[in-house]
Amino acid sequence: MRMAVRLALLAGLLSLPANAQLGTAAPVVDISIADSPGPVIDRHIYGQFSEHLGRGIYEGIWVGENSKIPNINGYRKDVVQALKAIHVPVVRWPGGCFADNYDWRDGIGPRDKRPVRINVNWGDVTENNAFGTHEYFNFMELLGADAYLSVNTGSMTPMDAERWVEYVTSDQNATLANERRKNGRDKPWNLKFIGIGNETWGCGGNMRPAVAAANNARYSGFLHTPAAMATIKVASGASGNLDKWHDYKAFTEEMMKNSGPTFGGSLQALSYHYYAMPPNLGPKGPATGFDERGWATQLGYALDLERQIDDVTKIMDKYDPAKKVALFVDEWGAWYQQEPGSHPGFLYQQNTIRDAEVAALTLNIFHRHTDRVKLAAIAQMVNVLQAMILTDKEKMVLTPTYYVFDLYQPFMDASPYKVKVTNASYAYGDTKLPLIDVSAARGKDGKLYLALVNTDPHRTVTVRTGLTGSATGRILAGAAMDAHNSFDRPNAVHPVPFSGVSQNGKLAFQMPPMAVAVVAVN
């Protein structure tokens, strides 16, 4: 059935309450939704990344069975419950740069006999390897999530990677499988994704593009899992943050040319990393206490990912017109100065309503590129960068970013519609952003879902549609640009009920400033 939505945006000159009546003339935006849906929004784009970095694993996820913090076999009970509530589909582990120095054998066997190493990438702190292969895969089963294992191709051999995969996945009467059984796991685990290296252009080996492509082809040939697992091998791809010495287009070209379908089909998926931050690792701003320029530029950084995905997709289409190779944005998110007083190298930062908008805008970008983007992993799940969850010993707080993932759950495995929006902008200085960003999809329950993001930090926007009926859902908004949840005020920012109203027989919404809403149209 053909769907068409006409959406008018009425914006006053001053910030108004959500239920205000707007009487001034305003921009009118027409939105049309395509006749046919695009490829399904793969649920794996709502994935997570968890690295041995700072307090991301230890205290964030793992506290041990003897901890005073309530736990389920060593896993924080409150964190597990929060993650299960948003149906986390996949978690990428153990890194990140940590993976490039990781010996998988350090993380198996009795915990009290595991070696203690130095985490040279993140703070030079000691790593006791209490959280290893068994702890990770059992955690995936506890969450009901798929496993995404990043194997070390920077400092270990293909044989090491091959044996790790065999240890995890073999059900035969063989030495490695029997060693796993001796260590407490009889049946093999399911391994859905294998990352062949991490950031091979950087901490994963400082490889030139041609060398990285050869590295992927070499390791890929040695990694075998049972055919029934249908494991997807993921090549380490480019980054969009390093234009000065790393051309993401040239890197993608080389990976596709030398590893893609025309080379023999060894490439099943290609990763991509992009952090919403100043170009070329420039000086980062604070996570809180920023001004409107900091608000606008950060949202601009987030939206730049769409341009980059368009560039990468064109190159992939050149070598893979049938779109057999998936694009995995398996590291993304906002990166700021770490919190004052926190441990150097732990990348601990606060999370505000601005980060909720970064998350929503990014997820909307993925919804518009479902022909290629089949998995994504926000960095990182707990206590690191743009985290879902923050902890402080026994305390836990859910961040605005967590609530965006909660709001967006109906888009998992939904059928997206292309949305055409005529120009209406929020601008500050040299930064110009779409005033309202929209995603539309037909959920598995048959309902039409709309995600609306108001990027303006001042103006309430009336959104009028050509739809009849009603709409209900939830909205997330902040009283200030850096509104956030703290351990003292854990519910300062949280979703509240939100619904449409009828204007002249048509469905309309009042979108307050700095807001993200998801509604089901009935």
The alpha carbon dihedral of 420, 424, 429, 430 has a sign of positive
How far apart, in whole angstroms, are the C-alpha atoms of residue 124 and residue 119?
5
Q: Produce one character per residue of 370-381: b if its CB has 16 or more CB atoms within 10 Å, e if not.
A: bebbbbbbbbbb
Residues 6+ apart with CB under 8 A from 359: 333, 378, 386, 400, 401, 404, 405
Q: Which candidate in 166, 199, 254, 357 is catalytic?
A: 199
Residues 6+ apart with CB under 8 A from 201: 207, 209, 212, 236, 238, 239, 242, 246, 251
How far apart, in whole angstroms, are the C-alpha atoms of residue 441 and residue 455?
21
How far apart, in whole angstroms, are the C-alpha atoms of residue 255 and residue 232?
16
Give the relative orientation of helices 353-367 and 400-407 as an angle to the nearest 10 degrees.
30
| Residue 7 · residue 31 · CB < 8 Å | yes
Residue with tokens 């350090």: 106
Residues 6+ apart with CB under 8 A from 341: none
How far apart, in whole angstroms, are the C-alpha atoms of residue 349 and residue 371?
33
Alpha carbon 424 to its chain centroid, in Å, reads 27
Q: What angle do CA 216, 158, 155 make, to 5 degrees?
A: 85
| Pick from 252, 220, 222: nearest CA to 239 | 252
| For the chain, the helix, strand and coil percentages under 3-state DSSP, each to the nearest 5 | 25, 25, 45
| Pick from 232, 259, 212, 214: nearest CA to 165 | 232
How far apart, in whole angstroms, are the C-alpha atoms of residue 78 and residue 81?
5
| Pick from 191, 213, 235: nearest CA to 325 | 235
SS3 category, 434 = strand
The verdict on whether 306 is a catalytic residue reads: no
| Residue 388 · residue 48 · CB < 8 Å | yes
| Residue 359 · residue 401 · CB < 8 Å | yes
E-strand ranges in 224-367 read: 232-239, 269-276, 326-334
Q: Is 504 exposed, middle or buried (0-12, 13-18, 19+ CB in 10 A)?
A: exposed
Dihedral pair phi/psi, residue 69, rounded to 5°:
-70, 125
Q: Which candidate in 59, 127, 166, 331 is catalytic?
A: 331
| Residue 29 · residue 424 · CB < 8 Å | yes
The verdict on whether 166 is a catalytic residue reads: no
Active site residues: 199, 331
